[in-house]
Every structure is written in structure tokens, then in C-alpha cells.
Amino acid sequence: MTIALDSAVSSLMTNKRRVGALKSLGVITVRDALAYYPFRVTDPVPVTPIRRITVGVKAAFVATVRQTRVVPMNGRRGGRVESILDDAEFSYEYGSAPGTVRLTFFSHNRGYGDWMASRLVPGSVVVVSGDPSIFNDNLQFTHPDVVVVRTPDGMPAEIDSVEAGLAKASRPQPVYHASSRISSDHIHESILGFMRLLASGGVPETPDANADAGKTGGFAPAGAEESVLPIVPAMLAHAIPDVLPETVRERNGLMHRAEAFCAIHNPDSVKQFRDGIRTLRFEEAFVSQTALLKARRQSDGIEAYACGEPHDPNESFKQRFIASLPFSLTGGQQQVIDDIAADMAKPSPMQRLLQGEVGSGKTVVAVAAMLQAVDAGHQAVLVAPTQVLAEQHYESIGRMVGKQGVPVLLLTGGMKLAQRRRVLAQAASGDPCIVVATHAAFSKSFQAPNLALAVIDEQHRFGVEQRETLRRKSEKAPHLLVMTATPIPRTAAMTWFGDLDISWLTELPGGRKPIRTIVVPEADGRTMGRMFAHIRARVDAGERAYIVCPRIDEDTEDETDDGTSTKSGGRSGKSGGGKGKGARGGRGSGRGGLRGEEYATYIEDPFEELADDEDAEEKPPLHSVEEISRRLAALPQFAGIRIATLTGRDDDDTKREVMEGFSSGDTPVLVATTVIEVGVDVPQASCIVIFDADRFGLSQLHQLRGRVGRGGTHSWAFLISRAEPDSIAAQRLEVIRTSTDGADIAQADLELRGAGDVLGDAQSGGRSSLKLLRVVKDADMIGEAREQARELLAADPTLAGATELAGAVLDFTRGNEQFITST
């Protein structure tokens, strides 16, 4: 059987428990295993004779086994293996007197104990590495790493010499993010096993009954010596071809890809590990930038409708619309409208990302662009992620342009069949109009043969396949305007949206008062009481209040609004999103509960622990809508006040009914998940309370905060926190407390938590192929990679001379399609 990078782990390992544990980390194939990078590497372990070993300092030594016994555990399954060793044969080489040490191994698995005892046969010479301790006044190593160098009966050993054993035991060891089901050591052992199989070109033949006991790490063995074959990069090169062209690799002083994997997973030194990381980090930068540049080049050759503006302003729907506005456009709005007008006048499709704060006037810009398409005799579609938001856009746009006679159509999945058919027929006629739609715009039944402009609201919620579906609705490719209120740092935007022209709206319309943000420790009962009394006073004044919780249900392991799982009482999963870890790019909770396929997205530096590892202890369960709504109803501050709830599980009719009651004041307090983050506009809302705020990302907190302060009144955002005062989570909350600038907040979020958190799964393509690249720290590397990619594409636009790179670019585009907005 031939082994390749796409070989399934399950076909190569006999230990099904380990296969399951690796699967839970997202390791399904050999390729996944190689890309499951360690987050740091240990320092080399010094070789020390037994007499000179210091408790608390790692040590490696060579010794002879004198005695081994297996001791049953009283009243419990399994037992412990105890061995007595001395280094009388070797200590004098180090100028030391002989010493004695005890090795102890505990196990509930009898097979493991028998296997370990079979390795520690009296008379065997072994190399040991681990952490020394004292037990009963004796030096002891508990569960150290052991390599058998020589056996008394002449049977094959695990390594061929003492020198080789000491080199192996003392070398730096990679450390991986593990789980309760599999340790870092077993992850390392498994990855090395896959690399050996790749190097040998095939799978060993016969399963072994002792595999589950750890004899070969769960691999089907073809002999004891197989598990310790050296991993030679040259032998791996045939199975792991280089992605970077040789000229690029030599220009930047990088390793071959196979050599880099060896350096990361089996380093001889810390420097070699760092060099391997640097190689694969540059590879990620080069592949991503090549994909973005190639996408932009290809889009330039596509034909689009040229939407020039009428010479007479009186004949222009767009100009009459701007003149009818009850306020003056900000300088930023006017500039973006002019830029879009120039782009749409060209016969090649516009591709523009519009980023703006909540309330910065993106909708006005979008309406102006859509009216320019209608002025030119074409159609425009605005796609919103939810029915509630689509209906709000339909109503607001209808009010803005209805008097001018521009047809505005609404298309949603929840419409009655007869009404839906009328809308579909009108769009299929090709007559100029504006269509406001949900995901229904991507259905086969929706056809718009005269479509000149597609506007995507909250762009990170749609993938490129959906956007490409819109392209196929029309005879020519429509111009594309994607909008987001999720703050994306400029460095990240230039990196991930490098194939788009980017516009920022940084000015807010006049009349809006700043929102006062207050961090409230949940344990401070007095302040919590004052906060609820304040909210009651605002409600009595005719205003509204949002109460946001990251979970839906109480006391259960449930799914949050984005479909991820959280466990009550454990570290949180992502709620309503965030590595987990805080909401990433518009998603919810703390950094805990990592899913295996995501872990590396959050690495800010592979030589440092995750920022939240200081809080690695069990965290309290996330608050739920069910719990908080019940508690609020019991508070005296809310006596006589009707409280409504809203979650992602509610159907569209329920959501509409709840929001109508909230807007009218019938239910002035709304307890909800992050479903309110997008598309909810209630001007009377003046207060928002966010529970577990320390477990959210800053960008999402900023988004949620933008739900209030939209009616010109004084507004407050209360961030309820259980974070320790000096923790990273507390630092994040201090950032949002002191700043209202979305770009600054997103930049701080990026620096504190890493690019994966800020952009989120939805924007980083779910199982992102980018695991090591850091947007902030690697900005110079990304810039250099972009220039070199530009040079390469200028010389070889189709990458015909770099087939491996072409394949990697295609894989990147498919796996990170939310980054690529053109084919």
C-alpha cells in the first residue's frame, strides 16, 4: 500500500482510540498531521550523571536497569511499574561517582504496564529524560522518556548506540496543543510515525496486539526497529514536494518543504525549529498573496456592464436621491460614491470592499451605487444575511427612492408562493429595478439577466461560491460592492482583501452622542444593582435595553447561535464564535474549547503559549438567555416590565414579532444572543448589557455596542466581566472601554489575540490553510512575498512553470474562499 499526504490516518493506525483522539483535533489525513504545528519547542535537556541531578531541573542520563517490578494498585485497576537503575558503568566518563535512581510509571492499562516492564528488563541499558523529583528521600523520575540502547539477551534495541540515545533524549522537543484524550507526547509520536511511513514509502504489514499499549504509537508495525528509523528530509522529499519555486526559496534562504517539516516536528536545535517555522510561514504568505494577485488579474479580463452616469442631473435617479437627503453627505461618503461611480463606468467589474462603522452611512452609499445601475438601464441586487435585515433594507430603501418611481423588490425564503413568483418574474424580465434579497438570491429560480451591480451586506457571512452564483445570473459579470461593519485592521484588510479596492468610512453623521462604556465586575453586587436600577429608569423614560448572553440554554451542552458547542462548567466554546477564543470577526465567546481544526489559526507566536493560557483553568459556564431572562424577571428593578427573548433558534416570524414588540415598547427589555449583532435598528435603544464580555472578542463587542445610541439620546454599554484584573481578557475590555474607533479596536484585538480571532472562521475559510502567518508581526514578510509573487506572475501568469505552487494556490482559494471574491 502506498502512503501519501492524503492518506487517511485511520488506515495507518491500529490504535482506534488514538485515531479518534486525533480526529477530534482535526487530524484526519497525513497532511493534517504535518500541519498540526507545535506552539513551542522545549530547551535542550542537559546530559547529567545521576549524582549531579538537581530536583526541578530536567535531565537526561544513561544507566543500567538493576531491578523492575509491576505492583498492582490496591482496590483499583491497573498498577505501577517501578525500576531501579544506576549509572556505575557510565558516570566516570563525566567525572562523577555512581548514583541510583527510581523510575515509576502508573497505568490503568495492564497492557501498557506489561509493555513498559518488558522494555526495562534487568541488565538493559537505557537513556532516560524527564523531570526529577524526590519520593521517600529517593531520587525519582515519574513517567520519563525512555529509549532502550542495549538488551541483555541480544534482542534488537530501539537505537543503535548510547551516543545516539543521548542525542535523541536531550534534543529539543516540540510541544503541541493537546486534549484530555491525547497528550502532546502522543501527538508528537504519531506525527513522527507518519513521517517515517512517508519516508519509507509504504505502510508496515501486520497489526500488533500491543499497539494499543503504546508499543509503536498505534501504528501497524513491521518490526521493532521500524519505529525508530531516522527521518531523513531527502527521503521525505518524494512524498512532500516543495511548493515554493526553487528560485524563490534560494532568494529568501529557505528550507525545502520536507526539511522544514522535519525541523519543526523533529528539530535538532531550537534554531532549526525557528528556521523551519520561518520557511512555512513565508510559504503561507507567498501562496496567499499569489492567490490574491492571480484572482485580481483574472477578474480584469471579465466583461461587465459599463454604467456611466447621465449628463443631465435631472435625469439621474442617483443625483435626485442625493439631493433629496435631509442631511449633507460626509466627506467620506462623497469620496466613496465618486470612487464607485468611476469603477462602475468601466467595462470590467468593480471589486470594492466598503468598511464603515455602524451608522457611518454605508446604506446611503450602496443606494447611490444601485441607482447608478438603474440610471444606466440595468438591475441591482442587495443581499442581506438575515430576513430581518433584508426587510429593514427594503423598507428604508423604498422610503428613500419610492417617490422617484424606481421599482424596489423584496425576495426572501419566507415569502408566500404567489408573491415570490411575481418578484421572480419581474426580475427575470430584465427591467431596471432594485432587488433586496436574502440567500434566496442564490437560488436557481432567481434570474436577473440585466444585473449590473451586486451589493453584499456583511460580506463575511457569504462565501465566494454564493457570490459567483450571482455572477451567473446575468449575461455579464456584475460589479461587486461588499460591505462590512465588522472592524478589520488596515494591515489585515490589505493582507486578506488584497484583490479588492478598499474604502473606509470613518466619519459618523452629526448628532450622534458617544456611547459611555462601563466594565462591571459580576461579583460587585452593588454596582450590578445600580446598573439594573439605571436601566429601569431609562425604560421608564420610554427607552429600550438589550441584554446579551452568549448561550441559549441553561445547564446543558448546547449549540450557540453559530452552531458551535459549549459545555456548561467547562471552558467555553465559541459562542455566537470565538478561538472560540473570543468572538472572531463578529462572533462570540472566550478562547477556550478549541476545536482541533482551528487551533493553529490562533497562534500569535509558535514559541509562546496562547495569550489566554494564563487562564487555562476551568472557567465558569457561560450565561444563557434562559438563565438571565429568569433572573431579571425576579429582580425588583424589573417589576411590572415585560421581558422578551430572541435567539438564533427562533423562526423568522417569531423574530419579527419579538422585534416589533421591542421597537414599540410593549416589551422594552430584550434578552438575546448575538443574533442582534447585525440588522437590528431600534433608535429608542439606549442601554446594552453584555454578559461574559470578557469571553468575547473586541470587534464583536464593538459591533454589539453599536446597537445603541442610534436615536440621538445618551447611551450606555455595560460589559459584565468575570476576568481577573491583570488578565489579557481584562486588557481587552479596557481597550474597548476607552476607545470608540473600530479600526483602533480591531488593531488591538489583532495584537492581543491574533489574526484568526479577528477575522473569524467565516472570514478565514473555516479550516484555514493559514496557520503560522501573523498579520501584524509578519507585515514586512507579507509585503515582500507580495512583491515576489507579482514578479513571478508577470513572468508566468498561469504558473505553468510552478505546478506545485499552482496547486497550492488552488487549494488556498478553495479552503479560504471568503478571502477571494473573484474566480
- Structural domains of the chain sorted by starting position, each given as residue range(s) with its CATH number in brackets: 9-41+182-272 (no CATH), 50-170 (2.40.50.140), 279-300+783-815 (no CATH), 313-344+361-484 (3.40.50.300), 515-564+623-739 (3.40.50.300)
Among candidate residues 743, 733, 749, 746, the one with its CA nearest the CA of residue 517: 733
What's the CA angle centered on 322, arms 318 and 326, to 5 degrees? 150
| Helix ranges restricted to H, 237-386 | 246-251, 257-265, 270-299, 317-324, 331-344, 362-375
Q: Output the pLDDT for position 242.
A: 94
C-alpha to C-alpha distances, 192 to 34, 265, 600, 777, nearest whole angstrom:
9, 7, 19, 30
Q: Is 525 exposed, middle or buried (0-12, 13-18, 19+ CB in 10 A)?
A: exposed
Burial code of 277-308, b = ≥16 C-beta within 10 A, e = fewer? bbbbbbbbbbbbbbbbbbbbeebeeeebbebe
**Residue 547, all three cell numbers:** 441584554
Q: Is the pTM of this model over 0.85?
A: no
What's the CA angle centered on 432, arms 483 and 341, to 5 degrees? 45
Dihedral angle at the C-alpha atoms of 775, 332, 587, 781, nearest 10 degrees? -10
C-alpha to C-alpha distances, 306 to 314, 345, 377, 451, nearest whole angstrom:
21, 5, 11, 12
Among candidate residues 376, 322, 377, the one with its CA nearest the CA of residue 345: 376
Please check whether residue 473 is in contact with residue 448, taking contact to mean a CB–CB distance below 8 angstroms.
yes
Distance of CA 83 to the CA centre of its chain: 45
DSSP of 371-400: HHHHHTT-EEEEE-SSHHHHHHHHHHHHHH
Question: Does an H or E element contain 106, and which?
Answer: strand 100-107
**Residue 439, all three cell numbers:** 440567500
pLDDT mean by block of 10 residues, the chain; 823 residues: 86 91 93 93 91 93 95 76 95 91 88 87 94 94 92 82 87 88 89 90 44 47 42 84 95 96 92 95 92 78 86 84 86 92 92 80 92 95 86 88 88 90 94 92 89 81 58 82 75 64 74 83 94 95 94 62 40 32 31 27 32 47 91 93 90 86 94 80 91 86 85 89 86 87 72 49 42 78 91 94 92 59 32
Please tell me the total number of residues recorded for the chain in this structure: 823
**Residue 220, all three cell numbers:** 501497524
For residues 614 and 591, give the distance between their C-alpha atoms in angstroms, rounded to a whole number. 11
